[in-house]
Amino acid sequence: MVLVLGAGCCFVKGYVVEHLLHFRLLAKLSQGRMFSFVSKRLSLMMMTKVCCFQRNFSSALPPLVPVKLPSKMETHFWYVLPDEVKSESLLSQYSELLSPREKKNLYHMQGDQFKKSALLARVLVRTTIARYQTNCQVNPRSLKFKKTIYGKPEVDWENGDKWCPPPLHFNISHTSSLVACGVTVNVPIGIDVEEKQRRLKNKILAFAKRYFSPDEVKLLTAISDPEIQRQEFIKLWTLKEAYVKAVGRGFSAAPFNTFTIRARVIKMGGFHHFDTQHSEVCCQTY
């Protein structure tokens, strides 16, 4: 399964997948397997590669094979399809990798599909991070997590004389039928996943006026075709979700209507221009 280039976003066989990297004043948007970034403020161009790995959770977990850390020019994208995991006994085995708090949170979740995706999301994070081993073996079950003041999860590494924790950043998103995890080195990342065919209960423009910026509402209002309007709304929503998760501040600290995502088209391809108080970036594809 591969990423297919889209108009300013990534698709994984029926899903909209957006991930953003953020450091200092620079936000970066991936648009496919190979993409480049142009920063007006920093006046530089960097080629970045997205490496995709599908995880097979339909059988017992084999011993984890170590994976090299992403380079500074790479993002590792791991994903699993929950529908392929049908064995209840396997799900029970996977749950043993979770911490008591994670198990408790899972127990209180509503809906079998949502609970299943949430379980696989936690297992994906633990087994993925454990693969990036440096000086010693890491047991997925032993990993500890903490949250920032805005609720973004991070690994709570235990420092020691014989252990130098990898400078990993990760972020995860899941629907009932796709779980995705992005991993970078030294650069915080945000990722969001939505189904392309998702139907919205609310009227798009009314919802957009409540949560989006005036310029984004204007963009959606100018689209007369209802289906195209719905698709553009979902793209904007996933981009904004990923951006907020990348800067690590959460929706309450960075409301969607406080920044704007602008999409334009140039001869070299499509790019997104993020107009916020934090960054001003052109993300360009070839």
Show me where the domains of the chain are located: 4-284
Q: Confidence band (pLDDT; 50, 70, 90) for 157? A: confident
How many C-beta atoms lie closer than 10 Å to residue 246's C-beta?
A: 30
Residue holding tokens 């979902």? 234
| 4-284 classified as CATH 3.90.470.20 | yes
Give all strands of the β-sheet with 280-284 in edge-to-edge order.
Answer: 168-174, 179-185, 74-80, 44-54, 34-39, 280-284, 269-275, 260-266
pLDDT digits (tens, 9 = 90+) for 103-127: 999 989 989 999 999 999 999 999 9
pLDDT digits (tens, 9 = 90+) for 174-192: 888 889 898 888 888 888 8
Q: Confidence band (pLDDT; 50, 70, 90) for 129? A: very high
Q: Confidence band (pLDDT; 50, 70, 90) for 266? A: very low
pLDDT of residue 202: 73
Q: Confidence band (pLDDT; 50, 70, 90) for 46? A: very low
For the entire predicted model, the pTM comes to: 0.74
> Would you say how long the chain is, in residues?
286
